[in-house]
Amino acid sequence: MYRNSNYSRVSRRTRFGARPYSGGRAYAPRRNGFQKRGYSLPAKIDLSRYINKAVITETVEHFVPEHRFADFSLDERVKANIAAKGYLEPTPVQDRAIPHVLRGEDVVGIANTGTGKTAAFLIPLLNKTLLDRRQGVLVMVPTRELAQQITEELRGFAGRLPVHAAVCVGGAGIGGQIAALRRRPQFVIGTPGRLKDLLERRVLILSDFETVVLDEADRMLDMGFIHDMRNILSRMPASRQTLFFSATLSRDIEKLIGEFLREPVRISVKTQDVAASIEQDIVKVPPGGNKFVLLKEFLSRPEFEKVLVFGRTKHGVEKLAKALSADGFRAESIHGNKTQGRRQKALDLFKRDHVQVLVATDVAARGLDIDGVSHVINFDLPATHEDYVHRIGRTGRAGKKGKALTFVE
């Protein structure tokens, strides 16, 4: 555990003036601890949930798939594109879900982040649109970044096949999205709020879609999209195929399933909250210590090659990224106040290793697949343990080891 004994005498004066960088923190004393204005922290934090020093290096439970991708009833061109990506055997959620989706059944899939949920629905639905070009697929997701990532993955599986997608998200010009919809793409991938706007403008015609996918459904509920989701689902053809993919299954999601799915096949390959490949630890900030100074100390170490730093607020994240840049670190930020173009540019720079540090709000904690993230640092505590799980799930992916550090004051 990082006890920070070397940092207990950190000066409270920094290059920012008499007061240290704090990411916009403002604490007021309370009887049971501290409360950030506008944000309540739990009276007692279970620090043991942020520590896991035992990194498993051998596979304890080896999954043996029932199928290979070549076994599925897919268009040979799709199989060729899958093989070209180097995929031979499906992940557990893909192995279980793809046959049911190919048969046109409704599916509820519960699986950990980073387990291949996207391909579990994209591959069979791509095949569906190739069999019938009139088929339309609507994919609802919580964030712009996830919509863009799904679109890129679809392009990889589709290759040069005659399948097109429109990305419809907030923070980007609606004119281009309207033009894309008028070209009648087979896939429309978007966030609920923007999809609702396009419905109200009568450029998104839901009768064109016989399949709907809700990816990261639990996160959409957390973000307050429940009414938009219910509105969109209620206006789609009754004979549609509906797929729900999520990391958790809450009471509200169960209600949606009961309302809008027909005898769904339930698939759960969820094993444990956090991948065994992620080493977790806490960083105790001593009284009077400065989190920003500690963060710079870690980022200066050679092993911190590609780091995601999570903050709580949009303002704090932007301020932290600028402070790191001013101190010579290659840093970018991603949060809800940035336009889609600037967010995408920051992500691309991080993915291509042109920046070392990406500072983000929880908008980046769900669904994004970024190769080679060496560390996740929780500069601010997550609001819930579920948010924590999704944050640190950005490292330790694709069989690689990762580390997660959580700053605790």
Q: Tokens 């896991």 sit at which residue?
A: 52
Provide mean pLDDT across the span 116-126: 94
CA distances from residue 297 to 7, 108, 153, 274 in whole angstroms, order as listed: 10, 44, 36, 26
State the span(s) of the chain assigned CATH 3.40.50.300.
5-57+273-408, 69-268
SS3 243: strand
Handedness of CA 30, 318, 376, 363 (dihedral sign): positive
Contacts of 353 (CB under 8 A, 6+ apart): 306, 372
Provide mean pLDDT across the span 171-195: 94
Q: Pick 253 or 18 by higher pLDDT.
A: 253
| Tally of CB atoms within 10 A around 32 | 9
Rg value, the chain, Cα: 22
pLDDT > 90? residue 110: no
Least confident of 4-18, 129-143, 390-404: 4-18
| Tally of CB atoms within 10 A around 197 | 18
213: phi then psi, degrees, rounded to nearest 5: -120, 130
Predicted local distance difference test score (pLDDT) of residue 368: 67
Residues linked to residue 189 through DSSP beta bridges, in sequence order? 139, 167
Helix H or strand E encompassing 232: helix 226-234
Least confident of 45-54, 183-192, 209-218, 265-274: 45-54
Chain centroid to Cα 161, Å, comes to 27
CA-CA distance, 113 to 74, in Å (whole number)? 25
What is the maximal distance between C-alpha atoms in the chain? 68
Residues in the chain: 409
Taking alpha carbons only, the member of 127, 178, 174, 181 closest to residue 154 is 127
Under 8 Å between Cβ of 119 and 85: no
Predicted local distance difference test score (pLDDT) of residue 38: 37
Least confident of 139-143, 326-330, 396-400, 404-408: 396-400
Under 8 Å between Cβ of 156 and 85: yes
Listed as own residue / partner, the contacts of 178-182 with beta carbons closer than 8 Å and 24 or more positions apart are 178/203
pLDDT > 70? residue 107: yes
* Structure tokens, 56: 């498993």
| Tally of CB atoms within 10 A around 230 | 15
Burial track 298-323 (b if 16+ CB lie within 10 A, e otherwise): bbeeeebebbbbbbbbbebbbbbbeb
CA-CA distance, 97 to 243, in Å (whole number)? 10
Provide mean pLDDT across the span 286-294: 89
Under 8 Å between Cβ of 324 and 312: no
Full DSSP string of 245-301: EES---HHHHHHHHHH-SSPEEEE----SS-TTEEEEEEEPPTT--HHHHHHHHHTS
Chain centroid to Cα 288, Å, comes to 34
CA-CA distance, 374 to 309, in Å (whole number)? 11
Provide mean pLDDT across the span 99-128: 91
Residues linked to residue 265 through DSSP beta bridges, in sequence order? 107
Taking alpha carbons only, the member of 252, 259, 325, 250 closest to residue 292 is 325
Residue pLDDT, tens place only, 346-403: 888 998 999 999 999 887 666 567 888 999 999 998 887 777 877 888 887 766 788 9
Predicted local distance difference test score (pLDDT) of residue 56: 32
Q: Tokens 């957390």 sit at which residue?
A: 222
pLDDT > 90? residue 119: yes
Pick the CATH number of 5-57+273-408 from 3.40.50.300, 3.30.200.20, 3.40.605.10, 3.40.50.1370: 3.40.50.300
Under 8 Å between Cβ of 389 and 380: no
Q: Pick 313 or 171 by higher pLDDT.
A: 313
Predicted local distance difference test score (pLDDT) of residue 113: 66
| Tally of CB atoms within 10 A around 29 | 7
**Angle, helix 144-158 to helix 76-84, in steps of 10 degrees:** 110
Class of domain 69-268: alpha beta
